[in-house]
Amino acid sequence: MGYGPGGAGSSVAPSVSSNFHCTPIFTLLLHAIEAMAHADLIAIESYREMIAYLGDRDPTTHRMLEVILASEEEHADDLSSLLEDMKN
């Protein structure tokens, strides 16, 4: 149940004022998401380096790192899309 324009319990989502982009909370949120995106890029590079280092010597760990890398890449894509939406 939301608290949109239809009142308490309304399923209508509240509209976001264009003034929201100028608020300190928006700026703080934007910077936090940018920091998470940057951390994801560092993690992605680290996982790629670990995978390259392992090569074929440890196929189980290699596969595990590939799964984690795919998850990190998906998360980075999600954050990138979110940031793009926020900046428009």
Mean pLDDT by 10 residues, the chain (88 residues): 43 53 88 96 98 96 98 97 91
List the structure tokens of 79. 């954050």
How far is the C-alpha of 32 from the C-alpha of 45, rounded, in Å? 20
Q: What is the pLDDT of residue 87?
A: 86
Judge whether 9 lies within some domain: no
**What's the confidence (pLDDT) of residue 50?**
98
Q: Is residue 6 part of a domain?
A: no
SS3 10: coil
User: What is this structure's pTM?
Assistant: 0.72
Could you list the residue range(s) of the whole structural domain that residue 31 is in? 19-87
Q: Is 10 contained in some domain?
A: no
CA distance 38 to 76: 9
Q: Give me the number of domains the chain comprises.
A: 1
* pLDDT score for 22: 78
In a domain, 83, yes or no: yes
pLDDT of residue 65: 98
What pLDDT is stored for residue 17 in this prediction? 54
Coil/strand/helix, residue 8? coil
Own/partner pairs, 24-31, CB within 8 angstroms, 24+ separation: 26/86, 29/86, 30/83, 30/86, 30/87
